[in-house]
Amino acid sequence: MEYTVKKLAQLSGVSSRTLRYYDQISLLKPARINSSGYRIYGQKEVDQLQQILFYRELDVGLGEILNLMNKPSYDQFEALQNHYKELKKKRARLDSIIETVERTIESRKGGVAMQDQEKFKGLKEKLIEENEQTYGEEIREKYGDEMVKASNAKLRNMSQEDYEKMTNLGNEIFSLLKKAFETGDPSSDLAWELAAKHKEWLMYSWPSYTKEAHAGLVEMYVADERFTAYYDKSVKGGAGFLRDAVLIYLGKKE
């Protein structure tokens, strides 16, 4: 079976414009171009598009999908098994959030009152799962399984008040990072405040705090491109500035 752009768009639910863009960035090339200049897709391309859409459902970026699918070691069946596993995790997270919403509605209607911890159960599980997916391997390698488990347990048992404080503090850190970065001085008063608030933010979820662990984490912010991208999305060069500010604050850098 072969498909034009229009027919493949109808089959998959992806717009024709998106399919042309996937061709442009070499993510999904047509099998051939016919004599009339139309892109023609075969079974191989249909299967590739399915894989792409599975990755997109898991919020994987197009650039990363392109890298994954172009690797010599890429195995489509293995990828499908991974999709299945990750999508089940995503469904479990969504089910937990849906359950929380349902119980909140019932509580507001005059049903059984919710405990504060229950109100954030689904959201905290989502945060834990996202952290595991993105940074789990590196964090476990650096700090060990027991510390990661203890950190996740502390987050799960966190009160509504502390959860809100932690979330607000995280937003405040990004805002402060922008202001401190503009000074160009990681030893400035603003940078000192930034580092202190970063320590305070960590202590909400860390089972215990040490200067060495804090220093190791900010070094990872620069060494690992995923951490770097997280902070640099707010301020280009922000990850490096935060690292320097924290190391000065900890007395580990002049």
CATH code where residue 14 lies: 1.10.1660.10
Per-residue model confidence (pLDDT) at position 190: 95
Per-residue model confidence (pLDDT) at position 97: 72
Task: State pLDDT tens for residues 5-63.
Answer: 999 999 999 999 999 999 999 999 999 999 999 999 999 999 999 999 999 888 788 88
**Chosen domain end from 106, 139, 158:** 158
Pair (129, 49) in one structural domain: no
CATH number at residue 205: 1.10.490.50
Pair (100, 190) in one structural domain: no
Pair (234, 171) in one structural domain: yes
Per-residue model confidence (pLDDT) at position 130: 63
Q: Report the range out of 90-94, 132-136, 140-144 with the highest average pLDDT.
A: 90-94
**Among residues of the chain, what percentage have pLDDT more than 90?**
44
Q: pTM (2 decimals)?
A: 0.48
Mean pLDDT of 97-120: 62
Pair (124, 152) in one structural domain: yes
Pair (165, 254) in one structural domain: yes
Angle at 146 between CA 140 and CA 149, to 5 degrees: 85
Per-residue model confidence (pLDDT) at position 76: 84
Could you tell me the residue range of the domain that residue 199 belongs to?
A: 159-254
Pair (63, 93) in one structural domain: no
Pair (52, 112) in one structural domain: no
**Chosen domain end from 69, 97, 124:** 69
Pair (81, 153) in one structural domain: yes
Mean pLDDT of 230-249: 92
Q: What is the count of structural domains for the chain?
A: 3
Q: Could you report how far apart the first and last alpha carbons of the chain are, in Å?
A: 67
Pair (191, 252) in one structural domain: yes
Pair (194, 183) in one structural domain: yes
**Chosen domain end from 17, 50, 69:** 69
Per-residue model confidence (pLDDT) at position 138: 64
- Better-predicted residue by pLDDT, 214 or 113: 214
Quick check: 108 pLDDT over 80? Answer: no
Quick check: 118 pLDDT over 60? Answer: no
Per-residue model confidence (pLDDT) at position 103: 67
Per-residue model confidence (pLDDT) at position 147: 72
Pair (79, 149) in one structural domain: yes
Pair (143, 224) in one structural domain: no
pLDDT grade for 131, boundaries at 50, 70 and 90: low
Q: How much is the mean pLDDT over the chain?
A: 84
